[in-house]
Amino acid sequence: MPDLTPLDLAGDVRALTAVLVDVESVSGDEKALADAIEAALRPLPHLTVVRDGEAVVARTELGHSERVVVAGHIDTVPLAGNLPSRVQGDLLYGCGTSDMKSGVAVALKLAAGVPRPGRDVTYVFYDCEEIEAARNGLGRLGRTRPELLAGDFAVLMEPTGGEIEGGCQGTLRAEIVTTGKRSHSARSWFGVNAIHRVEPVLARLSAYEAREPVVDGLAYHEGLNAVGIAGGVAGNVIPDECVVTVNYRFAPDRSLDQARDHVREVFEGYEVRFTDGAPGARPGLTHPVAAAFAKAIGGTPRAKLGWTDVALFSGLGIPAVNYGPGDPNLAHQQGEYVSLEKIVDCERRMLAWLGAPGSDLA
Q: Which amino acid is at 40?
A: A
pLDDT at 133: 84
CATH of the domain at 138: 3.40.630.10
Same domain, 48 and 79: yes
Using the predicted structure, report yes or no on whether residue 83 has a pLDDT greater than 90: yes
Same domain, 37 and 133: yes
**C-alpha to C-alpha distance for 345 and 106, rounded to whole angstroms:** 10
**C-alpha to C-alpha distance for 331 and 352, rounded to whole angstroms:** 27
Same domain, 180 and 271: yes
328, 103 contact by CB (below 8 A):
no
353, 296 contact by CB (below 8 A):
yes
Same domain, 135 and 19: yes
pLDDT above 70 coverage of the chain, percent? 97
> CA torsion, points 245, 302, 311, 42, in degrees to nearest 10?
130
For the chain, give percent helix, strand, coil, nearest 5. 30, 25, 40
Band of residue 362 on the pLDDT scale cut at 50, 70, 90? very low
Catalytic residue among 30, 38, 54, 75: 75
- Reported pTM: 0.87
pLDDT at 285: 87
**C-alpha to C-alpha distance for 299 and 353, rounded to whole angstroms:** 14
Same domain, 219 and 233: yes
Same domain, 221 and 251: yes
pLDDT at 37: 98
Sheet with 86-88: list strands edge to edge.
86-88, 91-93, 337-339
Same domain, 205 and 309: no
Distances (CA, A) of 291 to 155, 344, 353: 12, 23, 11
Residue 257 lies in a domain: yes
**C-alpha to C-alpha distance for 147 and 124, rounded to whole angstroms:** 12
Output DSSP code: residue 122.
E
First to last CA, the chain: 42
**C-alpha to C-alpha distance for 224 and 205, rounded to whole angstroms:** 7
**C-alpha to C-alpha distance for 78 and 73, rounded to whole angstroms:** 15
What totals of helices (H) and strands (E) does the chain contain, helices first? Answer: 9, 19
Structural domain containing residue 258: 170-277
Residue 4 lies in a domain: no
Output DSSP code: residue 101.
I
Residue 1 lies in a domain: no
Nearest to 327 by CA among 183, 163, 192, 169: 163
Which of 251, 277, 303 is the endpoint of a domain?
A: 277
**C-alpha to C-alpha distance for 197 and 183, rounded to whole angstroms:** 15
**C-alpha to C-alpha distance for 352 and 354, rounded to whole angstroms:** 6
Pairing of strands 170-179, 241-250: antiparallel
Band of residue 251 on the pLDDT scale cut at 50, 70, 90? very high
For 132-189, the pLDDT digits (tens) are: 888 999 999 999 999 999 999 999 999 999 999 999 999 999 999 999 999 999 999 9
12 a catalytic residue: no
Output DSSP code: residue 97.
I
CATH of the domain at 178: 3.30.70.360
9, 108 contact by CB (below 8 A):
yes
Same domain, 61 and 95: yes
Catalytic residue among 54, 129, 165, 347: 129
Residue 31 lies in a domain: yes
- Mean pLDDT of the residues in the chain: 94
Residue 288 lies in a domain: yes
Same domain, 21 and 161: yes
- Cis peptide leading into residue 2 (ω within 30°): no
- Count of structural domains, the chain: 2
pLDDT at 3: 59
Same domain, 298 and 161: yes
Q: What value does the mean pLDDT take over residues 122-134?
A: 94
Which of 231, 260, 277 is the endpoint of a domain?
A: 277
261 a catalytic residue: no
Using the predicted structure, report yes or no on whether residue 244 has a pLDDT greater than 90: yes
pLDDT above 90 coverage of the chain, percent? 89
57, 141 contact by CB (below 8 A):
yes
For 275-289, the pLDDT digits (tens) are: 999 999 988 888 888
pLDDT at 356: 45
Same domain, 20 and 60: yes
* Cα atoms in the Cβ-side hemisphere of radius 13 Å centred on 71: 32
Same domain, 200 and 224: yes
Which of 229, 258, 277 is the endpoint of a domain?
A: 277
For 193-203, the pLDDT digits (tens) are: 999 999 999 99
For 291-348, the pLDDT digits (tens) are: 889 999 999 999 998 899 999 999 999 989 999 999 999 999 999 999 999 999 999 9
126, 138 contact by CB (below 8 A):
yes
Using the predicted structure, report yes or no on whether residue 355 has a pLDDT greater than 90: no
Q: What value does the mean pLDDT take over residues 69-85?
A: 96
